[in-house]
Amino acid sequence: MAEKKSEFPALKNDRLLRAARGESVDKVPVWAMRQAGRYLPEFREVRAQYDFFTMCRTPEVACQVTLQPLDRFPLDAAIIFSDILVVPQALGMEVQMKPGEGPVFPSPLSGPEDLDRLCNPKDVCAKLQYVFDAITLTRHKLDGRAPLIGFCGAPWTIMAYMIEGKGSKTMSNAKCWLYRHPEASHRLLKTITDATIAYLVGQVKAGAQLLQVFESHAEHLGPNLFQEFSLPYLKRICDEVKDQVAALDLQDIPMTVFPKGGHFALRELGRLRYEVVGIDWTVDPILARQLVGPNKTLQGNLDPCALYADPIQIDSSVKDMVEKFGCERYIANLGHGMYPDMDPRHLAAFVEAVHTHSTK
Ligand code: CP3
């Protein structure tokens, strides 16, 4: 495996990895969730030619759009173009991406009997080879300009999509399972977790240099449901990915957990083996540090909508954010993803402000 790693171009910018491990940096590293997306005209041009999941399944295209934001902005990370919903697809569920509507599952899980429809989690990696190929290709094409982030959805977030079949304000169908079918819920979460662990280890083998786990629907759980239906699976993912990566003699890579809307979970998440905890924009950075504790790196958390302000205001919001988080153990980002109607020049202002206000 050591030979395979050395085949990749040497990393010329390791700020993200240094910050994730708690080492000192010359400037705070910065990237943006959904940095490859419809706010970029060059992305829309590619998107007009392909269906969304065709883009994900075509390594050359996934690689091309992953690199687009790095060609424009001095970002300190690339994130592989894909989606968290490729895992339920690999488990046998159909998912379509409807323009203007987002993801739709034509036949969501309606009750515990539907769990029989799912494939064996051991078989997902063979079906996700296209993601691994996209990661390996992108590591080469990046030429060491920045590290490449791999990712997945957390089990509760994926379960919620599999049951709701689309976005939902309340997640009441998925939460109905937690209260009415707790045993089946745990069976489903275990299946997703098994698939996810294999999938993340596959991403590391393919060349991912940091892994982020998106618990995008944490806000619907509250502390008690989180404790029972999210935390144990987030813990298993981090423990088993790290153990399997070590057993394969691969280099340990940092992992990030992002519990969107999960302010109530920050203290508990600070006790897991994730090196980085993502913070959404509703949490005060100083409180986040107190809750997560001193030995973790924080990532976040500018309100994405702050990018609608003019660049001078963006600069002062970033200055305030960097002062509150501090320049050590910090990765600058938005508190959630970018929106399609954002001005790319405002992301440029965000990135520049982070580097300016954090230079030693
Ligand atoms: O640049 C990047 O961040 C990498 C690519 C990426 C996408 N999705 C591409 C995408 C990543 C990391 C994701 C993760 C993802 N996907 C999450 C977790 C992050 C979060 O937002 O909380 C979730 C919940 C999904 C599921 C998903 N995919 C939704 C809800 C939507 C619709 C919302 C939207 O922005 O339209 C998608 C679609 C999607 N995923 C797009 C992109 C670029 C836009 C779809 C399109 O081009 O038609």
Tokens 């899980």 found at: 109
- Alpha-carbon distances of 162 from 304, 308, 323, rounded to whole Å: 27, 33, 40
Which atom of ligand 1 approaches the CA of 35 most closely? Answer: 1
- Has residue 17 got a pLDDT over 50? yes
Of 68, 75, 59, 77, the C-alpha closest to 41 is: 68
**Residue 129 belongs to what domain range?**
5-358
Pocket test for ligand 1, best of 30, 34, 166 (most atoms within 8 A of CB): 34
From atom 4 of ligand 1, which residue's Cα is the shortest distance away?
81
CATH of the domain at 227: 3.20.20.210
pTM recorded for the entire structure: 0.97
- Has residue 208 got a pLDDT over 50? yes
Which atom of ligand 1 approaches the CA of 37 most closely? Answer: 43
Which atom of ligand 1 approaches the CA of 157 most closely? Answer: 24
pLDDT tens digits along 209-251? 999 999 999 999 999 999 999 999 999 999 999 999 999 999 9
E strands, the chain, where?
A: 78-79, 96-98, 102-104, 148-153, 210-215, 255-259, 276-278, 297-302, 330-334
Residue 307 has what DSSP assignment? Answer: G
Confidence bin at 3 (pLDDT 50/70/90): very low
How many domains, in total, are found in the chain?
Answer: 1
pLDDT tens digits along 20-51? 999 999 999 999 999 999 999 999 999 999 99
Cα-to-centroid distance, 95 and ligand 1 (Å): 13
Residues near ligand 1 with C-beta < 6 Å?
A: 33-38, 47, 52, 79, 81, 83-85, 97, 99, 102-103, 151, 167, 214, 216, 260, 337
pLDDT tens digits along 181-193? 999 999 999 999 9
Burial class of residue 173 in the structure, from the number of CB atoms within 10 Å of its CB (0-12 exposed, 13-18 middle, 19+ buried): middle
Residues annotated as catalytic (active site), given as ranges: 34, 38, 47, 83, 161
